[in-house]
Structure 1
Amino acid sequence: MADRLLFSKTGRAKYISHLDLMRTFQRAFARAGIAIKHTEGFNPHPFVSIALPLSVGYSSQCEILEFGLLEGADPEEVPRRLTAAMPEGIIIHQCYPAQRKLKELTYLNYIMNFEYSEGRPQESEPAMQELLRRDSLVIRKKSNKAKAGYTEVDLIPLIQRFNLECQSDTLTLDAVVRAQNPGLNPELIRAAFCREYPDLAPDFVTFHRREVLDGDGKVFR
């Protein structure tokens, strides 16, 4: 049976790429003196796998890493020891045995902040409401597999629910979207909004993954 870590990735750490993050964990396990399982073959290396890799620049409080503790290791000690070996911004919250298959991970809850340096336009909230309540919202998505270099994706079926909250200089979108097969990167929501309402395009957008959910909308671990 595999083991899992629940960890957060914030601050400067959100700019660490997926591959660099994998290497960071491999080195951190070694520095912390935590013995984990290795891959088999001619060039064995520590086995670590991150579920649904996070885009560079996104923060998260609910990342899941799968690995294997060797017998004799104390899982309760892992969060403290591993966090001490990690760069600033990566905190290990929990170590636990995997009970569910990763394919059961169905939805992701994202918080997107559309920030306006000169104050949020009054039209931004109704514009976002109109956009996400359409019957269809097709946008091009880059694809290395497609001959044209992109595929067309309808965002609406991939958005399970959403809520909007406004402040003087920020429009906050709290959205639950499909995680996989197919999944929705919330960057496409930003791109669609800026395409449809260029006059309301924000100066900056932040993306934060708040929770991972199963098909019933319950927290997945």
Structure 2
Amino acid sequence: MADRLLFSKTGRAKYISHLDLMRTFQRAFARAKIPIKHTEGFNPHPFVSIALPLSVGYSSQCEILEFGLMEGTGREEVPGRLTAAMPEGIVVHQCYPAQRKLKELAYVNYIMNMEYPAGRPQETESAMRELLGRDSLIMQKKSNKAKKGYTEVDLIPLIRGWNLECQSDTMTLDAVLSAQNPGLNPELIHSAFCQEYPQFRPDMVTFHRREVLDKDGTPFR
């Protein structure tokens, strides 16, 4: 049975790319002297796999990494030893046996925060509610497999639920989005909003992954 880590990626660490994050974990396992399984073949290397790679610049408190822990190290030891070998911003919270298949991971809860330092226009709230209340919202999505370099996707069926909160200088969207096959990146919602309402484009937007969920809306581990 494989093992999994639950870890967070915040602060400066959110700018570490997916491939660099994989290498970071491989090196951290070695520095922490935690023996893990390696791939087979002529050039074996430590096997680590991260579910749902996070976009660069996004923070998260619910990242999942799969690996194989060798005998001799207790799972309860792993979080502390591994975090000590990590760069600032990466904290391992839990190590546990992987009992559920990754294909059961159905939704992701994202927090998208749109900032207006000079003051949020009041109309932004009704504009976002109108956008997300549509029956259909077609956007272009990059695709290496498509001849045109992109595919068209309807965002609305991929949004399970959402809540909007507004302050004097911010608008925060708390949304549960499809995780895979296909998944919905919240950046597409931001792009759609700016495309439909360019006059309400925020000065800055941040994305935070708060939880990964199964089809019933229960946290996936």
CA deviations 1:134-156 (Å, max 9, x no partner) are 00000111111111111111000
SS of residue paired to 2:76 = coil
In structure 1, C-alpha distance between the alignment counterparts of 2:136 and 2:30, rounded to whole Å:
49
Q: Secondary structure at the match of 2:176?
A: strand
Q: CA deviation at 1:74?
A: 1.1
Alignment of 1:134-149 (within 5 A): 134-149=134-149
Any unmatched runs of 5+ in structure 2? none
Partner of 1:25: 25
Matched position secondary structure for 1:77: helix
Identity %: 83
Stretches of structure 1 that go unaligned for 5 or more consecutive residues are: none
Residue in 1 that maps onto 2:189: 189
What is the distance in 2 between the residues matched to 1:41 and 1:14? Answer: 32
Structure 1 runs, 4 residues or longer, greater than 4 Å off: none
Task: Provide TM-score, normalisation by structure 1.
Answer: 0.99
Q: What secondary structure is seen at the aligned counterpart in 1 of 2:168?
A: coil
Cα distance per residue 1:155-177 (max 9 Å; x no partner):
00000000000111000000000
Corresponding letter in the other structure for 2:95: C
2:121 is the alignment partner of 1:118: no
- Give me the whole-angstrom Cα distance separating, in 1, the residues matched to 2:178 and 2:141: 16
Q: TM-score, normalised by structure 2?
A: 0.99
For 1:138, the aligned partner's letter is I
- Once the two structures are TM-superposed, the CA of residue 179 in structure 1 deviates from its matched residue by 0.0
Describe how 1:22-171 pairs up with structure 2 within 5 A. 22-171=22-171
SS at structure 2 position matched to 1:212: strand
Find the counterpart in structure 2 of residue 210 from structure 1.
Answer: 210
Secondary structure of the residue that 1:42 maps to in structure 2?
coil
Superposed CA deviations along residues 51-91 of structure 1, whole A, max 9, x for unmatched, are 00000000000000000000111110100000000000000
